[in-house]
Structure 1
């Protein structure tokens, strides 16, 4: 059976538990090991790993990255995970589960810088690198054997070691025949893992798994499928296209195909941006329109910057509010025309806010752009809003000054509010 030592990269490590060449025990064996080319790379507890790298004294301690007093867990190390802490968990709950945890406020600029270093290493191996988030990506290494003088499995093992040595964080690798199975493989052997799911075994590997394992099937979908008597992926996979359509609706045939391990999506270097938003959690709950407007304005400014950076405009606005009891309210409003200007975003968001601010205490406010439209058609002005180009020009001028002289160089009246 094909085999690989992940410590010395020998492809003849022997049949024993230790590598015959170096004595290492991180050996991967699989019938399709050297034939598969699609890989999913996921950094292990990325934010927490970067913090532990920078503060070695925290190596054996539980570390949580997130809001210091409120908000949710952005990331946590594996020590904290053994206590039940998970990403997106409310911070008060995480602290109750792990009272001795070291809580660190996230430094997104630092994490982004390290992510760019890792991404650059990936891009030296293949042009087919598709970012999925700040800490994970999918790669297609087909046709790279001659360039790297090694099959993709060996190239990936070398990359994992390079990231660990040069960046100081570990990654887990999933190797498979397509994107879906590579992602599922990467989740099987964390941290510092290397898991393989071959094309021949994909359907049988999936069959006994609960339907919730499949990406895109959330709790609501799990309940809906259970009501139909479908709890395992094998049951879903057994549906032919017609049966899946009749029982599950328009998405049924694709869902059944994925349950069989089928995925025709290519690996594309262009990451599809589906949504852009900004949100903030308050130090203390806010309940009045007046108190909520100041942080809403700041989120509109942040959203406007993100739209401009990514080359999009907003065709509508989505307001997000989270109550003190962690109930989420989401409200949407359309814009008359596409915009990148915070004033225009704010006017629509504020109208939505005024309908929701009924005295309920809120712990979080956010604003998003939906749908996303091309930036070229933003703020061109028309008879209904002839001032749009002037607002856009004014905003760009202020942003240019801030870029040269700092954030405090130009401030609008709303920007000075607190909340």
Structure 2
């Protein structure tokens, strides 16, 4: 059975428990180790790992990256996870579970910078890199053996060591025959893992697993499957396409196929972006339209900036609100013309907000652009709105001033919170 030492990259066609070259026990062995080409790479607790790298004194401490008691956990280290902390958990629950945690406000600019460094290292391995998030991607290394002088497994182990050495964080790698199984393999051996699932073992490995293991099976679908008597992936896998469609409609055959480990998706570097958004959680609940409009305006400015950075325009706007009891409300509208101007985004979102500002206390507000349009279609102006190009030029000038002198260089009054009432 082929084996590889992940520390010194010694490899052999016969398995070994301890590396004969360096003595390491970080060994991966699998019959298909040197034949598989699809990999899922996921950084381990990325935000928290970057913070620990920059503050070594926190290495053994539980670290939570998040904001305020009313925010949510953006990320947490593995020490905090052993105490029950999870991503997206409300901060008050996280601090209740782990009161001695060190809480650090997110520094997204830093995380994006480090994520791009790692992405560039991936792209040096293969042109077929499909980003899934700031710290996660799927790669297809087919045909790269001649380029790197080694099978994909060796190339990936070398990459993981380089990320640790050059960036100072760790990654976990899943290697398999398709994207689905590569993702599940990467989750199998975290942190600092390297797991392999061969095509021939996928169905058998999946069969006893709960249906919730499958990506895309959330709580609602999980309950629906359980109500129909399907609790394991093996039960789903046994359905024929016709039976799956009869029981679960249009999505049934695909669900059963994935339960067998089948996935025909290709790794595509040109993955389509479907939406771009920005949101914020308040330190204290807000209930009036006037109070909610100030953060909404600031988010519209942030969304406009993100649209430009990614080369898109908004063809529609979605407003998101989360109540004090964590119920989510979303409202959407289409725009007459694509835009990436904050005042146009705000003008479209404001009536949506007015209909929801009925005295309900909200803890979060968000604004999203969906559907998206090409950036060159934005704010071109027409007979109905001939001033659009001039407004675009003014916004561009404001952004240049802020880039030079800081965010506070130009601030619109609507972005300021309403004055506190006296008495």
Say yes or no: TM over 0.5: yes
**Mapped contact 1:237–1:259 kept (Cα < 8 A):** yes
SS at match of 1:201: helix
Alpha-carbon distance in 2 for matches of 1:255, 1:91: 34
Structure 1 position 418, deviation (Å):
6.2
Structure 1 position 68, deviation (Å):
3.0
Alpha-carbon distance in 2 for matches of 1:3, 1:418: 65
Of stretches 401-410 and 339-348 in structure 1, the one that deviates more from structure 2 is: 401-410
Q: Which residue of 2 aligns with 1:21?
A: 21
Q: Which residue of 2 aligns with 1:210?
A: 210
Alpha-carbon distance in 2 for matches of 1:310, 1:19: 46
Superposed, 1:399-418 pairs within 5 Å as 399-417=399-417
List runs of 5+ in structure 2 lacking aligned partners.
none
1:362 lines up with 2:362 in the alignment:
yes
Residue-by-residue CA offset, 1:75-128 (whole Å, 9 max, x unaligned): 000000000000000000000000000000111111111111111111111111
**Mapped contact 2:3–2:16 kept (Cα < 8 A):** no
Structure 1 position 252, deviation (Å):
1.7
Structure 1 position 383, deviation (Å):
4.2
Superposed, 1:98-113 pairs within 5 Å as 98-113=98-113
Structure 1 position 208, deviation (Å):
1.3
CA RMSD of aligned residues (A): 1.6
Superposed, 1:182-201 pairs within 5 Å as 182-201=182-201
SS at match of 2:164: helix
Structure 1 position 226, deviation (Å):
1.6
Structure 1 position 246, deviation (Å):
2.0
**Mapped contact 1:295–1:418 kept (Cα < 8 A):** no
**Mapped contact 2:15–2:29 kept (Cα < 8 A):** no
Structure 1 position 72, deviation (Å):
0.3
Alpha-carbon distance in 1 for matches of 2:381, 2:229: 54
Structure 1 position 414, deviation (Å):
1.7
Alpha-carbon distance in 2 for matches of 1:288, 1:17: 64
Alpha-carbon distance in 2 for matches of 1:414, 1:35: 59
Of stretches 390-399 and 94-103 in structure 1, the one that deviates more from structure 2 is: 390-399
Alpha-carbon distance in 2 for matches of 1:389, 1:159: 46
**Mapped contact 2:308–2:340 kept (Cα < 8 A):** yes
Alpha-carbon distance in 2 for matches of 1:334, 1:16: 61
Q: Which residue of 2 aligns with 1:270?
A: 270
1:70 lines up with 2:98 in the alignment:
no
Of stretches 219-228 and 389-398 in structure 1, the one that deviates more from structure 2 is: 389-398
**Mapped contact 2:174–2:196 kept (Cα < 8 A):** yes
Alpha-carbon distance in 2 for matches of 1:63, 1:367: 29
**Mapped contact 2:163–2:169 kept (Cα < 8 A):** yes
1:56 lines up with 2:91 in the alignment:
no
Structure 1 position 349, deviation (Å):
1.0
Q: Which residue of 1 aligns with 2:316?
A: 316
Alpha-carbon distance in 1 for matches of 2:148, 2:390: 54
TM-score (norm 1): 0.96
Of stretches 386-395 and 321-330 in structure 1, the one that deviates more from structure 2 is: 386-395
SS at match of 1:143: coil
Structure 1 position 378, deviation (Å):
2.0
Q: Which residue of 2 aligns with 1:115?
A: 115
Residue-by-residue CA offset, 1:165-224 (whole Å, 9 max, x unaligned): 111111100000111110010000000000000011111111111111111111111111
1:285 lines up with 2:279 in the alignment:
no
1:4 lines up with 2:9 in the alignment:
no
**Mapped contact 1:130–1:269 kept (Cα < 8 A):** yes
Q: Which residue of 2 aligns with 1:142?
A: 142
Q: Which residue of 2 aligns with 1:396?
A: 396
SS at match of 1:202: helix
Q: Which residue of 2 aligns with 1:174?
A: 174
Structure 1 position 13, deviation (Å):
8.6
**Mapped contact 2:67–2:91 kept (Cα < 8 A):** yes
SS at match of 2:334: strand
Q: Which residue of 2 aligns with 1:165?
A: 165
TM-score (norm 2): 0.95
Alpha-carbon distance in 1 for matches of 2:331, 2:397: 31
**Mapped contact 1:321–1:365 kept (Cα < 8 A):** yes
Alpha-carbon distance in 2 for matches of 1:14, 1:314: 56
Structure 1 position 270, deviation (Å):
2.1
Alpha-carbon distance in 1 for matches of 2:379, 2:14: 66
SS at match of 2:200: coil
Structure 1 position 7, deviation (Å):
1.4
Alpha-carbon distance in 2 for matches of 1:355, 1:103: 36
SS at match of 1:337: strand
Alpha-carbon distance in 1 for matches of 2:131, 2:38: 14
Alpha-carbon distance in 1 for matches of 2:257, 2:289: 48
Q: 1:296 to 1:116 in 2, by over 3 A?
A: same
Q: Which residue of 2 aligns with 1:79?
A: 79
1:124 lines up with 2:138 in the alignment:
no
Alpha-carbon distance in 2 for matches of 1:179, 1:215: 11
